Amino acid sequence: MFTKKMMWSAAVFTLLGVCAAHGQTRIYNTAKQKLMEGKKIVGGTVSTNDPNIYCAMANAGFDFLWIEMQHSPLTYQDVAVMIRGCKGASAIPFIRVPDATEGDIQKAVDIGALGIIIPMVETVQEALNAVQYAKYPPVGVRSQGGGQYGAMWGADYRPTANENVMIIAMIESPKGVAIADKIAAVPGVDVVFAASTDLSSFSGFKQGDPRYEALVTKIHDAVLEAGKKLAGPLAWKDRHGYTFFQGPGESALIQSGAKLALGGGASPTERKGVAPTEGSEK
């Protein structure tokens, strides 16, 4: 049953890809477009509900904004106001949802997110669910309800959404690493993210430890072998194969910006190439 479902989904996505290649689908997800062109993209992280801060970051040069709803008190109403209030910004709204549930994903796409980031993916079914809930039929089972997606992306949103909404699966534990090849092989998963902090937390190994690096290498190899895009923290920008990066949050950016404005340096406190530990910000 699973094999048939995968084959059917793959056929549908191939067909949609052919249509897109013939110019039949409008691509307004500029972050996805850059990835398709082989370029690297960076997203700033947003955890505050202040629309002014959101808009400042959305127009600061980032390719997308990583709107943090897993580890923040942000509500979908908060995020809807932020996204709508900064319509036309250069950074595309991506949301890290709390979980791969229909309710979370449906709300995220309805308010205009063009990227759905799924945390803690440890089963193939979670990745399949993410694709199914984010995509309209015949690819998925997303229902057509109300929302501000049309106001954000145009009257042709319904027929073009499936080609513009991206799915990013995060691998954060050894359990996820063990099936990284299967997660990466799921049709509709565009990007697989190697989560630096939680890989360390769940494995007990620090970055740089050969055992930690072996986990990262397994994700790296599986994702590139599947022909998908590989993601990680911005500190890993020089690592081979990585093209999608989570950048710093608003607190870190304000702090580094203040240091520069006051004539000081913005030198990182972490070692070069080592991702900062999430939750350790002062």
Q: Report the distance separating Cα 106 and Cα 266, nearest Å.
A: 39
Residues 6+ away with beta carbon under 8 Å from 45:
65, 66, 68, 246, 247, 248, 249, 250
Q: Which of 22, 71, 220, 240 is catalytic?
A: 71
Q: How far is CA 257 from CA 115, 151, 165, 252, 272, in A?
A: 27, 33, 32, 8, 19
Nearest to 192 by CA among 106, 99, 122, 273: 122
> What is the Cα 75 distance to its own chain's centre?
18
* Cβ pair 127, 118 in contact under 8 A: yes
Q: Which of 81, 72, 246, 58 is nearest to 168 (CA)?
A: 246
Structure tokens at 98: 């709390």
Provide the β-strand partners of residue 149.
none
Place of tokens 């042709």: 156
- Cα distance between residue 196 and residue 275, in whole Å: 7
Active site residue 71: yes
Sequential DSSP letters for 173-223: SHHHHHTHHHHHTSTT--EEEE-HHHHHHHH---TT-HHHHHHHHHHHHHH
Q: Phi and psi of 201, rounded to 5°? A: -65, -45
**Alpha carbon 123 to chain centroid distance?**
18
**Which residues are the active-site residues?**
71
